[in-house]
Amino acid sequence: MTRDQLAVATGIDSSNIRSYESGRALMNVQSLVRIAEALGVEAGELLEGVTSDMFTRTSSAASNP
């Protein structure tokens, strides 16, 4: 499924999907569920392997140029 197809299936703008995929933006729970449904998986499967460390590195890198 392409990003554009996912955008149509979820009603989420394709630019938002690109931002989620690249890590420039974090999606809310509603978007996570809509994407999971469009992909035919449980929302929890999309979170496998995600840790709080992944977010603190991004935050600290942004605050320490």
Tokens of 59: 């935050």
Using the Cα atoms of residue 12, residue 35, residue 26 and residue 1 in order, give the sign of their dihedral: negative
Question: Does position 60 have pLDDT exceeding 50, yes or no?
Answer: no
Quickly state the pLDDT bin for 40 (edges 50, 70, 90): very high
Q: In the chain, pLDDT over 70 holds for what percent of residues?
A: 85
**Mean pLDDT, residues 2-18:** 96
What are the structural domains, with CATH classification, of the chain?
3-63 (1.10.260)
Q: What SS3 state is found at 11? A: coil
pTM of the model: 0.77
Task: Return the pLDDT at 57.
Answer: 54
**Mean pLDDT, residues 16-20:** 95
Task: Return the pLDDT at 6.
Answer: 97
Q: How many CB atoms lie within 10 A of CB 43?
A: 14
